[in-house]
Structure 1
Amino acid sequence: MARNSTPVCKLCRREGVKLYLKGTRCDSPKCAIERRNKAPGMHGARRSKPSEYGTRLREKQKLKRFYGLLDRQFARNFADAARSKENTGEQLLSLMERRLDNVVYRLGWAPSRSAARQVVGHGHVTVNGRH
């Protein structure tokens, strides 16, 4: 299975907000956003007004990175949300929040969503007697 191996603090800096990908470190003064509040890379400090496409892309990337999904998983969830009769955006967030790894994270059983995903993947959480 594919995984994103980019340093997670770099992802937070790219989006410009704390995504809490490292758990409690994001609350400390060691957080990359507080140390260097600019986008990573040689040309990170330069900011121009993003286009409509650029704004939508940044929001999509932010949501994907926040929940730790890759493009195909995100597209599948979006298609499910679009099929429902409710507002697509609200339905998409509802589907994301109902994922088992997110529930484990929200319950406080794991310090981050990636750690929660590992706990679920290793079979430490059972739902109705099933791993």
Structure 2
Amino acid sequence: MARNIGPACRICRRENLKLYLKGDRCYSDKCAFERRAFGPGQHGQSKFKKLSDYAVQLREKQKVKSMYGMVEGQFRLTFDRAERQKGVTGENLLVLLERRLDSAIFRLGMASSRNQARQLVRHKHVLVNGRKVNIPSFLVSVGDEITLKEKSRTNSLIVENLEAVARRGVPSWLELDKDNVKAKVKTLPNREELTLPIQEHLIVELYSK
């Protein structure tokens, strides 16, 4: 399945949850989810019968996939890796998703959305430990230093994003030096820091069938 390139607001409305896929627009009065908090399409406001257990599990997986902008193959590989690690599979999965470089860039406020963060990485604006990394799925580790190319640090869009970082805040596992546009991974993320309502056990149940 290819990555969804259609209207992002439809995804939020379908999942009945604001996923913050369009950056600053999601915080404004223009947010489509706020204006039309019902499903998209002709029958969006209709009342449907109760979803089956499988449908609930599938929707949870689709929601998290959309949130992190991943295709099915990428997501399944990440799940398989989480399953092989010690500990709780669902929590391992979320930690791996948060450790993705595009997700870390978004969490730091250098980009207003994960999609924008993915573009920054793809276009070689991002350095990890002084080396260019253009792979959005690259996993950051404790002690890694994340920064931008010298020319990119004065980009007006990035400067605006960093000015607005106080609105979202930076998670405690990351340390941001806003003046020098660089950050450091202090520790690995933990489950308690993920504020969006994700029921990871449903994804584990789905893939365990």
Assess same fold via TM > 0.5.
yes
Question: 1:107-126 maps to which residues of 2 (within 5 A)?
Answer: 107-126=108-127
Give the Å deviation of 1:73. 0.5
Please identify which structure carries the higher helix content. 1
Q: Residues of 2 paired with 1:102 and 1:121: CA distance? A: 13
How many residues matched? 130
Query: TM-score, normalization: structure 1?
Result: 0.94
Q: Residues of 2 paired with 1:19 and 1:67: CA distance? A: 9
Q: Residues of 1 paired with 2:34 and 2:104: CA distance? A: 28
Q: Residues of 1 paired with 2:54 and 2:70: CA distance? A: 21
Q: Residues of 1 paired with 2:3 and 2:62: CA distance? A: 15
Letter in 2 for 1:37: A
Letter in 2 for 1:7: P
Could you list the per-position Cα deviations for residues 23-61 of structure 1 after superposition, in whole angstroms to 9, with x for gaps in the alignment? 111111211111111111112222321110011011101
Q: Residues of 1 paired with 2:29 and 2:60: CA distance? A: 25
Partner of 2:20: 20
Give the Å deviation of 1:129. 2.8
Structure 2 residue 56 is matched with structure 1 residue 63:
no
Partner of 2:93: 92
Q: Residues of 1 paired with 2:49 and 2:109: CA distance? A: 39
Query: TM-score, normalization: structure 2?
Result: 0.60
Could you list the per-position Cα deviations for residues 99-131 of structure 1 after superposition, in whole angstroms to 9, with x for gaps in the alignment? 000110011000110000000111111112322
Could you list the per-position Cα deviations for residues 51-110 of structure 1 after superposition, in whole angstroms to 9, with x for gaps in the alignment? 100110111011000011111110000000111121111000000000000110011000
Q: Residues of 2 paired with 1:51 and 1:76: CA distance? A: 26
**Please, which runs of 5 or more residues in structure 2 have no aligned partner?**
133-209
Structure 1 runs of 4+ aligned residues shifted over 6 Å read none
Task: Report the aligned-residue RMSD.
Answer: 1.1
